[in-house]
Structure 1
Amino acid sequence: MTTPIMARRAYGPSFALLTLSVAISAATHAQTLTDEEKAKADAAIEEMIVTSRFTTNDRLDTATGLGLTLYETPQSVSVMTSQRIFDQDLRTLTDVVNNAPGVSARGLDSSRQSFSARGFSIDNYQIDGIPMTWSSGGDAGETQSNTALYERIEVVRGATGLLTGAGNPSASVNLVRKHADSKVLTGSVNASVGRWDTYTATADVGTALNRSGSVRGRVVANYEEGDSFRDLAGDETSVFYGVVDADVTDNLLVRVGASYQDNEPTASTWGGLPVWFSDGGRTDWERSKTIGADWTSWASTVQNQFADLIYNFNDDWRLKLNVNRNVNEADLLLIYMSGTVDRDTGMGLNPSPYNAETERDQISYSAQLSGNYSLFGNEHELTLGAISSDQDFISQTRARSDVAPIGNFYEWDGSYPQPTWGEQSVASEVNTKQDGFYGATRLSLTDEFKVILGGRISNWEQTGQNYGTPVDLGDDNVFTPYAGMVYELTEQHSLYASYTEIFQPQSERDRNGDYLDPIEGINYEVGVKSRFFNDALHTTVTLFNVVQENLAQPDVGQTVPGTEPPVQASYGADGAESTGIELEMVGEIADGWDVSLSYTAFEAEDADGEPVNTNQPDQLIKLYTTYQFGGALDKLTVAGGVNWQGENYTDTTNPVTGQDERLEQDAYALVSLMTRYDITSQLSVQLNVDNLLDETYYSQIGFYNQLEYGEPRNVTASLSYQF
């Protein structure tokens, strides 16, 4: 079982820190193992000693499907390992994105986040390499996905159309599940307490389910409850996960598993705080100020079931079949506030209560055949695959009446009455189907020079209705090419380049009434990858250019035929372009000293040279480092980090003065600290401090001309026991 490992290199002592564990009834099977079998299992665990806690030498499928290492992949790829997640106490996917190289998160309100990279929104996600379609901004809890479910989280920046099909040319996030890989009883349990009366308990355990260990099980449970820095707000989260791995034969592995996450927040907000007073001046709220009421909630559940069949024909060829079902449900009771506040009386905000239930049900099937072949005296790799997904989305809302006024917002205490809700009706019902067939080969032209060529054929269709408007979109036989090369300059340094694409269907129509072709997202990338200290330290220098072609633009003076009222016609034009640089260093720079350091800078402009997506920071510096002492202090680990981001802004119009105005977040830095002490080889205590300097900042400003504050200083103490 792969777990967070606090490891020196092979020449130093090692301590294991797992995230949690409780016993399961099947654990009794582990007690029947013979001494010889236990010794072999223990030896297998010892072989898992890693050279760095912050990087991996595993082969990844996220970018190409070819199972390449980070060093071999001709794109920018970062991995947030289980140890990194454990050290920083990163509990949700949003926490991971806030700390991962080259990507950023923007808070829309108390329950939603939007992610971005290289100037464009991230809408490509994978679970164990299987593409998933999530709602914009994580409307049903997606961005709150609990990290207790995952072994690691991979981020591939740039276009990833070879595997994901439709989307933006920003990045793809792959969530790699934990699997049942231990033949002996092993696990951990963790409990923590933090600011705002936050309590967390997590358990993670795995064991053999039969005498030989050919059938193994693993379960994870997590529970968290607590209040928030926002007035009235709180949250309760429950997570359960179970998986069984079975070696049916020496060549056949079958995995079956399921997970469930339930998010039950209280006093949820929808949108942010008002930016302007009614005299046109800017507001200045306390960070704890909320627009949530004592009955508002953005409750959500995420269910996932999956089955994998992996068959190894021989040492060279493997077939993997997968079926995956993901169901996201949300139960929304919310209130939105618009308008400006009178500086003296606190009056002026207008309420818009909202009651809705949504469900997004996606089932996906995939098949992938991968292997090696000989040609012209060299060995090459090949992968062929097919992915099919079918998603149904439905949103049902209730009309409202008897809506009470907000009153004096200075005196807002959440005791606002619910309106009278009417009968439920279907607001949106949309079906989305996507099929893709892809292939890629890695050609070894020489020992030093490797070339990857590939492509994907995609079919995409969306039908239904959205708030009374018919939806009928589709594109067939969209070809997405992929090309990359890696040239090994020396044993330590490689030069790489890649050309990747992705497509994004759009709903705009032209003057003839035809839907526009999909936006083509294109990513050009060149860089140098290096490795040091026997592969313990990796560095990457990347130059990239990202383009969105065929972006819909207004066709001035033209309307879509047959529309009433008339709908503006559009045409496909050259779109937005982002050019920038990424630097990353990750791994062990000295015995016991691990570091992750990255810098990202880009400039994004539209076809007319005007800045675009300025609400995303165009510069990021992220540093996190840990040091495990040796000698008499070998039980002590200390860590610290700084996340700095450049300014971001939204240009808008002051609704009172009518003047142009910029809503801006200046550059800021968030500092974090961690210390851990191993009481014994199994028991440890850890202290994490986030936003050490208690920086006041906006997690977003400008979304619907409102603002949202980021979290103040937070302190968490935890106790972990591993067995």
Structure 2
Amino acid sequence: MIGSFHPAFRLALLAASFLSAPAIAQDAEENASGNETIVVYGSGIGSNAAATGLDLTPRETPQSLTIITREQIDDQAASTIADVLEYTTGLSVKRVDRGRNLLSARGFDITNFQIDGLPFATGNVGLEESSTVIYDRVEVVRGSVGLLQGAGEPSASINMVRRQADAREFTGTVTLEAASWDHVSATVDVSTPLTSDGSVRARFAAEVYRQDAFVDLESSKGFTLYGTISADVGPSTRLRVGGSYQKDERNGVMWAQLPYWYADGTVADWSRSKTTGADWNAWDTAETSAFLTIEQDVALGWMLKGDVSYFQQTEDSKLIWLWGSPDKASGIGMDVWPYWYLAKPKQWNLNLQLKGNYQLFGRSHELVVGAMYNHLKTGWTNRDPDAATVAPVGDFNAWDGSYPEPTWGLRYRMSGFGTTKQTAFYGVTRFRLLDPVKLILGGRLSSWVRDEEEALYTAEPYRLKKNVFTPYAGLVVDLNKFLSAYASYTSIFNPQTVRDREGRYLDPLEGANYEAGLKADLLDGRLRLSGAVFRIEQDNFAVPDIGYFVPGTTDVASKPAMGTVSKGYEFEMQGEVLPGWDISAGWSHFKATDADGIDVQAHQPRKVFRMATKYEFGGTLDGFSFGGSARWESRPPQTAANPATGETEKVGQKAYWLANLMGAYDIDDRLSLQINVNNVFDKRYYNTNSWFGGYIYGEPRNVRATLSYGF
């Protein structure tokens, strides 16, 4: 089943914002036999504590949020977290190149990721490339998230919730897939008790795949392994431990974008299979994670929880960058530079949290206090080519990737290797002022330290930000049994890594975030409606300083934009509209400008519609289900100077629709077949969320068949 928004839903709202709203969604419950019960998209969701630590239902949460359940992930045949987010309300998922995505919401990039509620920094190839075989659901909290996240953007937080070992009987699923561009994959998900009473349980999931692409030369293969053990250690202690490993090998990958213009100023019209890559290009990644969680019940119903989590990524990318505006007839005019990047960022997260209820003024209230430590080690090396062995591009019109690999120099530290440490103490409480009125107050006291050696891309060796206080305030009023109104506020703090024309780092982003809205639970909780307005005020927002570069690098310099404001509204509905019919849809609209009224983040679409639906037939058609998804985006206000005329022109993708279809049939109680057709009408469109003088095409029409067997 599936979750949804309804276009007819019209809500009037107010303005006030927040820093951290709990991403909401409850793990699939165990049924009497010990197997998991599927939760429909967004409905039937219970309390969750992913952002504030407080156990709040979606209606009790003073922030916009969306939950994508495991069933919706399967219905969309989503292989990665990025695939999941493409049809999530308020989010924009675009490609920088064929190796990376950029995510955004409300006019700001999304850099805040969590795994099981613990914050992790995303890398050059981001956490959105994680395989969905690891996760039970994805929770998206829109707006500023700082109470548990700390420093970050006021866009959204993506919380990826791992599958748990809950089953007390042996159960599992095996899935085989075949799709366009020679895609084949297999997954297995198995749960089993390890003791006769089920007090110790294990779960293992794995995926293996290989595929080509609609882009010339590109192919990839990889696998993912995930395992976890849960144990009830006596009546008051629970333990969970696990880890994962994901490896992706990608060959012939296109790094640079296709040139937008010819040298004469006319817009180029390349084939969707056209590449800027070479046949020796490689972009390989590997991610390793491990985690340990212990929960201990203490006196008077309080609980103490400790988390230790680790994540490491290795990225090895040998690529070429092409840029320029070629001559339409001869194809001459493109420049090239090879690049061999290697990075191995590592991060640790430690969290200790105490939560429970207390009595005050004759009422029961909730309290969460905790301490958190984050440790991130980063830096990268490079191997430059011998300039004498770098061949010219020649005729780009005839480019087929058969470009000679240069001779590589010795590896050197291009970025200073350093460590970022965040230490924080946080606390939040929910006061029940009256039966229908709840006030949430909290705050986080953080210290942020970056200790880094000097290198080509890191001129300043040390940065420090101490005792930064991030407040949290939210008010929720139950207007009746099914409708609530809320308002919330938080401040914004985010150190920046970009530099100005003098080589200095920009000061941290600072500002305020306001949000208000209405939320309703209808049809006995099977259908959720929400609407919100928001306003984000920010200073020191980094914008390109056109014509200037960071000294000693080829990076475009940045300058701080003061008085940046993003404001807008969102509507969403998720749940079961009628028995057997689920729908998830949402609309978002924002405007983001600086103090002079100039658009910031101009590459992001300002209006976005998302929808997914599925209907399960009964009667003589029992076992059949049919559905689909759609998205619409407005044209972003992106402009650039024409290379021939020098005049400013619109270069963003024009407003467009995409539509997908899915159909499934339960062959018997254990075996099912599903067909997904994406981009049904074969829409030709740019899928680029940046501007390097070019664009990336979105995927043409493609088909995927999935055969699943449960036991």
Partner Cα distance (2:410, 2:499) in 1: 34
1:325 to 1:473, Cα distance in 2 relative to 1, 3 A: same
The match for 2:350 is 365
CA positional deviation for 1:605:
0.9
2:318 aligned residue (333, 357, 362): 333
Matched, 1:407 2:394: yes
Deviation string for 1:622-660 (max 9, x for gaps)? Answer: 111111111121211111221111111422222333222
1:603 aligned residue (582, 585, 591): 591
Partner Cα distance (1:553, 1:298) in 2: 29
The match for 2:89 is 101
CA positional deviation for 1:577:
0.8
Matches within 5 A, 1:39-58: 43=32, 45=34, 48=37, 50=39, 52-58=40-46
CA positional deviation for 1:368:
1.1
- Gapped regions of structure 2 (runs ≥ 5): 4-28
Partner Cα distance (2:144, 2:260) in 1: 36
1:719 to 1:386, Cα distance in 2 relative to 1, 3 A: same
1:55 to 1:449, Cα distance in 2 relative to 1, 3 A: same
The match for 1:420 is 407
Partner Cα distance (2:252, 2:587) in 1: 37
CA positional deviation for 1:63:
3.0
Matched, 1:134 2:122: yes
2:519 aligned residue (515, 524, 529): 529
User: Greater CA deviation, 573-582 or 266-275?
Assistant: 573-582
2:364 aligned residue (379, 382, 389): 379
SS of 1:478's equivalent in the other structure is strand
Matched, 1:149 2:139: no
1:168 aligned residue (128, 153, 157): 153
Amino acid at match of 2:664: R
Partner Cα distance (1:148, 1:223) in 2: 10
Partner Cα distance (1:573, 1:409) in 2: 38
The match for 1:205 is 190
CA positional deviation for 1:336:
0.4
Partner Cα distance (2:66, 2:642) in 1: 41
**Alignment length (residue pairs):** 676
Amino acid at match of 1:149: I
CA positional deviation for 1:597:
1.2
The match for 2:646 is 658
Contact in 2 for aligned 1:196/1:228 (Cα 8 Å): yes
Matches within 5 A, 1:243-262: 243-262=228-247
1:568 to 1:667, Cα distance in 2 relative to 1, 3 A: closer
2:383 aligned residue (398, 402, 420): 398
Matched, 1:519 2:509: yes
2:434 aligned residue (446, 457, 475): 446
The match for 1:23 is none
Contact in 2 for aligned 1:227/1:235 (Cα 8 Å): yes
User: Greater CA deviation, 123-132 or 210-219?
Assistant: 210-219
Normalising by structure 2, we get a TM-score of: 0.91
Partner Cα distance (2:448, 2:172) in 1: 43
SS of 1:59's equivalent in the other structure is coil
- Gapped regions of structure 1 (runs ≥ 5): 8-39
1:569 to 1:155, Cα distance in 2 relative to 1, 3 A: closer
> Aligned-residue CA RMSD in angstroms?
2.6
Deviation string for 1:229-260 (max 9, x for gaps)? Answer: 00111111210001111111111111111101
CA positional deviation for 1:45:
4.1
Normalising by structure 1, we get a TM-score of: 0.89
With CA pairs under 8 Å and 6+ residues apart, which has the higher RCO, 1 or 2?
2
Partner Cα distance (1:513, 1:114) in 2: 25
The match for 2:465 is 475
Partner Cα distance (2:166, 2:511) in 1: 38
1:134 to 1:569, Cα distance in 2 relative to 1, 3 A: closer
The match for 2:23 is none
SS of 2:380's equivalent in the other structure is strand
Amino acid at match of 1:656: A
Partner Cα distance (1:674, 1:706) in 2: 33
Identity %: 42
1:6 to 1:537, Cα distance in 2 relative to 1, 3 A: closer
Contact in 2 for aligned 1:473/1:515 (Cα 8 Å): no
The match for 2:332 is 347
Structure 1 residue ranges (4+ consecutive) displaced by more than 6 angstroms after TM superposition = 508-516, 552-555, 567-573
The match for 1:712 is 700
Partner Cα distance (2:49, 2:412) in 1: 43
Partner Cα distance (1:526, 1:236) in 2: 45
The match for 2:14 is none
Partner Cα distance (1:466, 1:91) in 2: 37
CA positional deviation for 1:661:
2.4
Partner Cα distance (1:120, 1:310) in 2: 36
1:665 to 1:155, Cα distance in 2 relative to 1, 3 A: same
The match for 2:18 is none
1:314 to 1:696, Cα distance in 2 relative to 1, 3 A: farther
The match for 1:546 is 536
User: Greater CA deviation, 595-604 or 401-410?
Assistant: 401-410
User: Greater CA deviation, 149-158 or 700-709?
Assistant: 700-709
Partner Cα distance (1:340, 1:150) in 2: 43
Partner Cα distance (2:635, 2:292) in 1: 44
CA positional deviation for 1:480:
0.3
User: Greater CA deviation, 299-308 or 312-321?
Assistant: 312-321
CA positional deviation for 1:143:
2.5
1:508 to 1:216, Cα distance in 2 relative to 1, 3 A: closer
Partner Cα distance (1:688, 1:666) in 2: 26
Partner Cα distance (1:658, 1:322) in 2: 56
Matched, 1:495 2:485: yes
The match for 1:92 is 80
Contact in 2 for aligned 1:140/1:328 (Cα 8 Å): no
Matched, 1:579 2:567: yes
Contact in 2 for aligned 1:141/1:301 (Cα 8 Å): no
SS of 1:58's equivalent in the other structure is coil
CA positional deviation for 1:312:
1.8
CA positional deviation for 1:332:
0.8
Partner Cα distance (1:510, 1:213) in 2: 59
The match for 1:220 is 205
Partner Cα distance (1:690, 1:101) in 2: 19
